[in-house]
């Protein structure tokens, strides 16, 4: 896995949620290689500690480990406190943690659906809120929310997941405008199919779609960090996803829903 990214260093300290694997891990590695101190957040503390030791040993940076389940209100409050802290402040917040389940609404346990909303939406809102209140008072910074190309249209067969990512897409763009002139930017990263543990965790099928639709976590992470460094509002990764996002905007709603349903059917 490549740890290289833009130089010189853009941020002093970044907090990355969902940092134990996938896009979050790739971002942590790339930020660490650039010399950015890190606060790594995930449920699996042992994996975070291993990653922290590796990155710190290689780059000589300071890496904090903060074990937390963002669906738990007490754990989320501890992460909020770290984002809000004025001592050793975080000037890049990466809201990367998220998950989703395929299947018809009503067939997936409602507690799982609620958990999706708590992690994909509530945690994003609360952590972004802490950052938006504190960053303007401590020199500015950036918020990078990881959305999805699924957020550009309804997702029959993954209704709740697509809806949470539509929220993140809309919310992030509004924050981008609201934070103008306050020294804080907000970027939403919208990847498509990415080879991570996301598919295994959510029991999504990954073998029914052509390889050209898939991206690697390293490339997606780099695109997101570069976009945040430039202060861009929206970053859609990969040509197929850019085409899909553009098509979804101009297609009749019924057609967009139908195509999305065919896609999700292949992911069951």
Tens place of pLDDT for every residue, the chain, 268 residues? 445 445 558 999 999 999 999 999 999 999 999 999 999 999 999 999 999 999 999 999 999 999 999 999 999 999 999 999 999 999 999 999 999 888 899 999 999 999 999 999 999 999 999 999 999 999 999 999 999 988 988 888 889 999 999 999 999 999 999 999 999 999 999 997 776 655 555 444 555 555 556 688 999 999 999 999 999 999 998 777 677 767 767 666 766 665 555 555 555 5
Partners of residue 234 on adjacent β-strands: 188
Residue 209, pLDDT score: 52
Q: Where are the domains of the chain?
A: 13-266
- For the segment(s) 13-266, the CATH number from 3.40.228.10, 3.30.470.20, 3.40.50.12780, 3.40.50.720 is 3.40.50.720
State the pLDDT at residue 138. Answer: 96
> What phi, psi does 3 have (nearest 5°)?
-105, 0
Distance CA 165, CA 171 (A): 10
| CA separation for the pair 30, 38 (Å, rounded) | 11
- Calculate the alpha carbon distances from 35 to 92, 115, 187 in Å: 13, 34, 21
CA dihedral 65, 30, 225, 175 (to 10 degrees): 10
β-partners of residue 67 are 42
Q: Which two tokens stand for residue 27?
A: 């971002």
Catalytic residue annotation: 161
- Residue 230: phi and psi, rounded to 5, are -85, -10
Instruction: Round to whole Å and give the CA distance between 124 and 200.
Output: 23
């Amino acid at each position: 896995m490549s740890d290289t990214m833009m130089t010189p260093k853009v941020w002093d300290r970044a907090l990355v949620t969902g940092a134990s694997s996938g896009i979050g891990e790739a971002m942590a590695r790339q930020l660490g290689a650039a010399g950015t101190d890190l606060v790594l957040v995930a449920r699996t503390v042992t994996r975070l500690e291993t990653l922290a030791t590796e990155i710190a040993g290689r780059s000589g940076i300071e890496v904090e480990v903060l074990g937390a389940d963002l669906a738990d209100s007490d754990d989320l409050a501890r992460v909020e406190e770290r984002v809000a802290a004025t001592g050793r402040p975080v000037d890049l917040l990466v809201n990367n943690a998220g998950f989703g389940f395929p299947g018809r609404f009503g067939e997936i346990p409602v507690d799982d659906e609620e958990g999706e909303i708590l992690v994909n939406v509530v945690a994003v809102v609360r952590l972004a809120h802490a950052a938006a209140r504190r960053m303007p008072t401590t020199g500015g910074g950036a918020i990078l929310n990881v959305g999805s190309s699924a957020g550009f249209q309804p997702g029959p067969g993954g209704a709740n997941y697509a809806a949470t990512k539509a929220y993140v897409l809309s919310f992030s763009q509004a924050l981008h405008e609201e934070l103008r002139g306050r020294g804080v930017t907000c970027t939403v990263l919208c990847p498509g199919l990415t080879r991570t543990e996301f598919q295994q965790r959510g029991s999504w099928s990954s073998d029914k779609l052509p390889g050209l639709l898939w991206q690697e976590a390293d490339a997606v992470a780099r695109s997101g960090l570069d976009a945040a460094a430039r202060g861009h509002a929206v970053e859609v990764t990969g040509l197929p996803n850019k085409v899909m996002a553009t098509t979804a905007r101009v297609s009749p709603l019924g057609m967009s829903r139908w195509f999305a349903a065919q896609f999700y059917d292949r992911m069951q």
